[in-house]
Amino acid sequence: MVQTEVLSAIGDSSLAVYAVWEPILRTDDERSSRKATALFPDRRVTNYWVDSPDVGKAFQEPIGLVGGPAWDVYLVYPPGAQWTVDTPPRPEFFMHQLGGRLPDDRSLDGSKLAEAIRKLLPE
């Protein structure tokens, strides 16, 4: 959905994308993260593997998530946003696929995510 409805739909080179693959499920490891890069065949995407839940935990507070590291979440930041302290910045917009752990109206919807990104693209 993200590739087809967001990345393919927004060709703008002023969009940077970071895919952080985390160890959430029992089969998650670096090899599986390399395979998962096939989900986003887009030059703007930088793929990372982190062998720790700490990055996901760091993003709990910015999106108001409790009870576990943030994963299956999609955060959008405008130009100018900086990550200056240990806690990452609060996103301008986010969506998720975490069921009842975050607001239902933020459940991942490709068209809504694309719309939010377009609004934040630099002029």
Site residues (vs another protein, CB under 8 A): 1-4, 6, 12, 14-39, 46-52, 54-56, 58-59, 69-84, 86, 88, 91, 97, 99, 108, 117, 120-122
Q: Which two tokens stand for residue 82?
A: 């900086």
Whether the CB-CB separation of 71 and 24 falls below 8 Å is answered with yes
| Nearest CB to another protein, comparing residues 85 and 105 | 85
Q: Which two tokens stand for residue 12?
A: 């703008």
Shortest distance (Å) from residue 56 CB to another protein: 6
Q: Among 101, 88, 85, which residue's Cα sits nearest to residue 58?
A: 88
| Nearest CB to another protein, comparing residues 4 and 105 | 4
